[in-house]
A and B are shown apart, each in its own frame.
Chain A
Amino acid sequence: MAELNERPFPPGEYPVVVVGTGPGGLQTSYYLTQLGVKHALISADEQPAGMFQRFPFFQRLVTWSKPHAPVEKTERRNEWYDWNSLLSDDPALRGSVIEFMDGSSYFPSRPEMEKGLLAFAERAKIAARYGCRWESTARAGDDFVLTTSDGEYRCSTLVFAIGMTQAWKPDIDGIELVPHYVEMKPAKEFAGKHVFIMGKRNSGFELADGLLPWAKQLILGSPRPAKLSIITHSTSGARARYMQPYEDNALGGGHFVLDAAIERIERTADGYRVHTSGTTKPGVMIFEVDEVVAGTGFTTPLGDLPALGVKTFYQNRLPAQTPFFQSATVPGVFFAGSVTQGSIGLKKYGIPSNSAAVHGFRYNARVLAHHIAETRHGVKIERPSVEPGRVVQYLLDEATNAPELWNQQSYLARVLNVDRARGITDEGIVPLQHFVDAGGPDAVAITVETDGTGDIHPALYIRRDGTTEERVLASNPLNDFATSEHHAELTSALKPLID
């Protein structure tokens, strides 16, 4: 690690400054370097992947990295089975998290994740200035000036990969009395206690699952019924591996999962009194408990960016972004990492992108680096030609195997431009929202989507004479979209475009 600790990138002027060395910042820096875009990477942490020294609290991630996947970790397709390793064009750098997993789970532990990211940063020679804290931001003409604990940085392009791990609490009387998830005590200190957990999303269920062996009784409460990933077909739902408390509730085992608005919390001599009002079943419920924990979610530490003009939404927890992760209101300010969930895309069937987690935002980082390189720093990116006779098979292979399309369903698309004079060119992986709304030459985009019934299938977007039409292809029980039936269907759909 000596090389990483030499404190490169002293304050000064750079074309791009990237703030943050979590997986989003590392992945963005990696691809900017690959594209030859000079940039400074700075971080308040003392080493890469700082978040994984603290979270998730109960040690294991919620995203899988399957040690015995159907394909080797050096192959691109393995990214669908390994949701935690960072991306590389060099097969030797792929699958770094799997390498450190001991095989006892297909969810990496925090140390396994941390080691995998450190190994990637070291092997890819990602240099960063650690211990350099971003303090404030100002405009200087068309540039930005970033004041940090080490001095001032000036640049025309700013990328914030600052995570979404700052505690967020709703406005409830007495909530300041209770600790948030990020202030959690060791589980054994909950032994034999009655515990009220505010929140029924992943962090709430993670706490409940971790406290099951210790607490005398757990009560999870929030206004909305729990949304479960296996019902909503989305990783934004509470994940299956945290469902033991839910099963306990369903079987009447003594722990409870309640739909209740929390009206106020009071301190008592022995603990807390939680006043609630039922939502799906009306009625007042008051709980006397020993402990209360707020599993109420997280926000982005945006600092002074709202004052700079960065528009936010979702209770001011996320910056509003364009399809290419640029602030919707301050050109030149971009985001990477989990903050990119603020670029919402089409959100078809109500299913959000996977941009909140590594398996989604690592692709966003690659798209972002290409976009910054090409549109702001004059880098020419080659578009390979595709022979007309190969188009159908290529698109069906992508729908079946491309990890970008599977990890970011209905969000990222493989795009081919069709120009009668210049032929067919591969435009690469592009945000679907940009493709369908920005217009452009005749083209075809293919994505994978899961609909409201859970059916997974390819979706095709054909742009012809400025109008884009959607066409959904058939699903397949084994998710093989390269069958002869798919071939015939796609050939027919593309006939007017590439005949």
Chain B
Amino acid sequence: MSEQIEVIDSLAGMTLFADLTPPQLEAVAHTFDEDFFDEGIRILRKGFAGSGFYVIIEGEAAVNLDGKQIATLSRGDFFGDISALLGELPTADVTATRPLRCAVLSADELDRFLLAYPTVALRMLKALARRMRNQNTWRN
């Protein structure tokens, strides 16, 4: 009974959804599915079609490229965004490194969702910009 509240509360505490009103948050919590992945389970598979957009509610995941871990993801982070937005196949694997609960939206729904909630789109754009900045910083 309490876990749906927890999903809404979790989303409310995330930067991505910080501008939404309580009814909007409730709608978002119902729009996303909630999936669980045990430690060691792959969520995003390089080269496999039909993946989704994931927001981590709880747990940790690793981004792996060609057998090498390139990033760690935790609560509030999202992944699957690039392949969902561009309609392309994922270019890396994402694997749960601790039991992982995610809010999930199918890639086909992401465009419509972002158009319905432009403040989420703006927050996502800023997060992507930070990701690019950090990558450039690493290169330097």
Closest to A327 in B: B38
**Cβ-defined contact, B1 with A169, below 8 A:** yes
**Cβ-defined contact, B1 with A277, below 8 A:** no
Chain B residue contacts of A410, Cβ below 8 A: 50
Closest to A461 in B: B48
**Cβ-defined contact, B27 with A316, below 8 A:** no
Query: Which residues of chain B (29-48) have a CB below 8 Å from chain A?
Result: 29-31, 33-36, 38, 41-42, 45, 47-48
Q: Let me know if B56 is at the binding interface, CB within 8 A.
A: no
Q: Let me know if B5 is at the binding interface, CB within 8 A.
A: yes
Once A223-B27, A261-B26, A437-B42 are accepted as A-B contacts, the answer to whether A346 and B107 lie under 8 Å apart by CB is no
> For chains A and B in complex, what number of residue pairs have CB atoms within 8 angstroms?
104
Q: Let me know if A344 is at the binding interface, CB within 8 A.
A: yes
Query: Which residues of chain A (329-349) have a CB below 8 Å from chain B?
Result: 329, 344, 346-349
**Cβ-defined contact, B30 with A452, below 8 A:** no
Interface size class of A (residues with CB under 8 A): 35 or more
Q: Let me know if B49 is at the binding interface, CB within 8 A.
A: yes
**Cβ-defined contact, A313 with B34, below 8 A:** yes
**Cβ-defined contact, B30 with A313, below 8 A:** no
Q: Pick the contact of A328 from B4, B7, B38, B48 — CB < 8 Å? A: B38
**Cβ-defined contact, B35 with A279, below 8 A:** no
Once A278-B23, A279-B26, A350-B105 are accepted as A-B contacts, the answer to whether A315 and B35 lie under 8 Å apart by CB is no
**Cβ-defined contact, A315 with B23, below 8 A:** no
Q: Let me know if B135 is at the binding interface, CB within 8 A.
A: no
**What are the interface flags for A289-315 relative to B under an 8 Å C-beta threshold, 1 for contact and 0 otherwise?**
000000000000000000000010111
Once A261-B26, A311-B99, A313-B35 are accepted as A-B contacts, the answer to whether A346 and B41 lie under 8 Å apart by CB is no
Once A313-B101, A315-B3, A328-B38 are accepted as A-B contacts, the answer to whether A279 and B23 lie under 8 Å apart by CB is yes
Q: Let me know if B104 is at the binding interface, CB within 8 A.
A: yes
Chain A residue contacts of B105, Cβ below 8 A: 350
**Cβ-defined contact, B106 with A350, below 8 A:** yes
Once A320-B38, A349-B50 are accepted as A-B contacts, the answer to whether A315 and B1 lie under 8 Å apart by CB is yes
Q: Pick the contact of B23 from A277, A320, A328, A449 — CB < 8 Å? A: A277
Q: Pick the contact of B50 from A259, A311, A452 — CB < 8 Å? A: A452
Once A311-B99, A315-B3, A344-B35 are accepted as A-B contacts, the answer to whether A437 and B41 lie under 8 Å apart by CB is yes
In angstroms, Cα B49 to Cα A459, docked, is 10
Q: Let me know if B108 is at the binding interface, CB within 8 A.
A: yes
**What are the interface flags for B1-15 relative to A under an 8 Å C-beta threshold, 1 for contact and 0 otherwise?**
111110100000000
**Cβ-defined contact, A469 with B35, below 8 A:** no
Interface size class of B (residues with CB under 8 A): 35 or more
Chain A residue contacts of B107, Cβ below 8 A: 349-350, 452
Closest to A323 in B: B41
In angstroms, Cα B50 to Cα A459, docked, is 11
Chain A residue contacts of B49, Cβ below 8 A: 348-349, 451, 459, 470, 472
Query: Which residues of chain B (41-85) have a CB below 8 Å from chain A?
Result: 41-42, 45, 47-52
In angstroms, Cα B50 to Cα A449, docked, is 10
Once A348-B51, A469-B47 are accepted as A-B contacts, the answer to whether A224 and B108 lie under 8 Å apart by CB is no
**Cβ-defined contact, B108 with A315, below 8 A:** no
Chain B residue contacts of A459, Cβ below 8 A: 49
A201 to chain B, nearest CB (A): 10
Chain A residue contacts of B104, Cβ below 8 A: 347, 350
Q: Let me know if A280 is at the binding interface, CB within 8 A.
A: yes
Once A350-B33, A350-B104 are accepted as A-B contacts, the answer to whether A224 and B27 lie under 8 Å apart by CB is yes
Once A223-B30, A280-B116 are accepted as A-B contacts, the answer to whether A315 and B4 lie under 8 Å apart by CB is yes
In angstroms, Cα B38 to Cα A366, docked, is 24
In angstroms, Cα B37 to Cα A320, docked, is 8
B40 to chain A, nearest CB (A): 9
A282 to chain B, nearest CB (A): 7
**Cβ-defined contact, B50 with A316, below 8 A:** no
Q: Let me know if A436 is at the binding interface, CB within 8 A.
A: yes
Q: Let me know if B24 is at the binding interface, CB within 8 A.
A: yes
Chain A residue contacts of B2, Cβ below 8 A: 171
**Cβ-defined contact, B30 with A224, below 8 A:** yes
Once A313-B35, A452-B106, A452-B108 are accepted as A-B contacts, the answer to whether A347 and B52 lie under 8 Å apart by CB is yes
**Cβ-defined contact, A280 with B27, below 8 A:** yes
B27 to chain A, nearest CB (A): 4
Q: Let me know if B88 is at the binding interface, CB within 8 A.
A: no
Q: Let me know if A222 is at the binding interface, CB within 8 A.
A: yes
Chain A positions within 8 Å of B, measured between CB atoms, are 169-171, 222-224, 259-261, 277-280, 282, 311, 313-316, 320, 322, 328-329, 344, 346-351, 410, 436-437, 449, 451-452, 459, 469-470, 472
Q: List 29 A-B contacts (CB under 8 A).
A: A171-B1, A171-B4, A224-B27, A224-B31, A259-B27, A279-B26, A280-B27, A282-B21, A311-B36, A311-B99, A313-B35, A313-B36, A314-B34, A314-B36, A315-B3, A315-B4, A315-B34, A346-B45, A348-B49, A349-B106, A350-B33, A350-B108, A350-B109, A410-B50, A436-B42, A437-B41, A451-B49, A470-B45, A472-B49
Not counting A315-B7, A316-B3, a sample of 11 additional A-B residue pairs whose C-beta atoms are within 8 angstroms of each other reads A171-B2, A224-B31, A279-B23, A314-B36, A316-B1, A328-B99, A350-B108, A436-B42, A449-B50, A452-B50, A472-B49
